[in-house]
Amino acid sequence: MKHFLHYLWTLPQNLLGLLLAWRYERCAQLLCVQRSARFPQVRIVTLDAAVDFSAISLGHYIIISDSYKDRQRIIRHEEGHCVQSDWLGPLYLLAVGLPSIVMFLMSGYNRRHGDGRFADRYYQRWPENQADRLGGVIRG
């Protein structure tokens, strides 16, 4: 019952996570699904490295490309977003997901067309800095 209520509290992001995982499964681009060691309710969905994808945390689903060299650090960061999702529930997509995606897109633009300094500070801004802290990520 507690697990069900928790799933319901984070339902919008859970539905998006399920939909995204299903989409990649349908295209045969999903490599595997594993349970997070730190957060057993969270599933880590690994996509084929050829898929143009980074990583995203949607409720009980972390979807990540197999192309990452520093996979464990990215997973810890995404687990930090899972904690934010638990805290914020239905507000997560608006309060964390939206600013995170906007900053990600702006950073990509800055890296391609600017000096890259904005992009270099991506993890220093909220909500990324909090996700790092909650996930126990230390950046040099």
Binding site for Zn ion (CB under 5 A): 128, 131
CB of 67 to Zn ion, least distance (A): 17
**Residues facing residue 34 across a β-bridge:** 44
Output 131 or 134, the one with its CB closest to Zn ion.
131
Output 35 or 133, the one with its CB closest to Zn ion.
133
Output 86 or 128, the one with its CB closest to Zn ion.
128
CB of 26 to Zn ion, least distance (A): 26
Distance in angstroms (rounded) separating the CA atoms of residues 78 and 39: 11
Give whole-number Cα distances, 78 to 28, 62, 116, in Å: 23, 7, 23
CB of 104 to Zn ion, least distance (A): 8
CB of 109 to Zn ion, least distance (A): 17
Determine how many CB atoms are found less than 10 A away from the CB of residue 1: 5
Q: What is the 3-state secondary structure (H, E, C) of 24-63?
A: HHHCCCEEEEEECCCCCCCEEEEECCCCCCCEEEECCEEE
Question: Phi/psi of residue 56, each to 5°?
Answer: -150, 145
Output 43 or 81, the one with its CB closest to Zn ion.
81
